[in-house]
Amino acid sequence: MIINLSIEYALLGLIYLAKHPKKSIKISEIAKAENIPLPFLQKVFQILSKAKIVKTTFGPKGGYELAIPAEKITLNKLFLVLRPVIKNRYTCFKQELLKHKDGKLLTSFMISLHKEMSKYLENITLKQIIDNK
């Protein structure tokens, strides 16, 4: 499981929003405060908006805010939203490993490891990250 820039930037943006509750924040403000390229952050937030993790308000005072409380946003949810390929990963991963002589030995271990990581990430919320717990 790779943590890529999309996930890092999503977390930075969501933390920024969580620290400014009940206020619409312009994406440019988040990008500037967190030193994130604006076009990249816009794409990430479009995905988060479609997943109903953030909501958008339009107009001069418009911007983004959390659509759900920080304690309900899990890292696993972010991974699934930002890395949808993960849903088919077991099949692809298994097919690739089975091409190798000892791939069968490694397959069940790697699938178990991935499932355990997903369970762990399901128990980590945005609020816990902010509270540093």
Alpha helices of 5-125 — where are they, by DSSP H? 5-18, 27-34, 38-50, 75-82, 89-97, 103-122
pLDDT in tens, 96-123: 666 767 767 677 787 788 788 889 999 9
Q: How many CA atoms lie within 13 A of 8 on its CB side?
A: 9
Each residue of 9-53: pLDDT tens digit? 999 999 999 999 888 999 999 999 999 999 999 999 999 999 999
How many residues does the structure list for the chain? 133
Q: Kindly report the pTM of this predicted structure.
A: 0.81
As for how many domains the chain has, the answer is: 1
Which CATH number do you get for residue 32?
1.10.10.10
Domain containing residue 64: 5-130
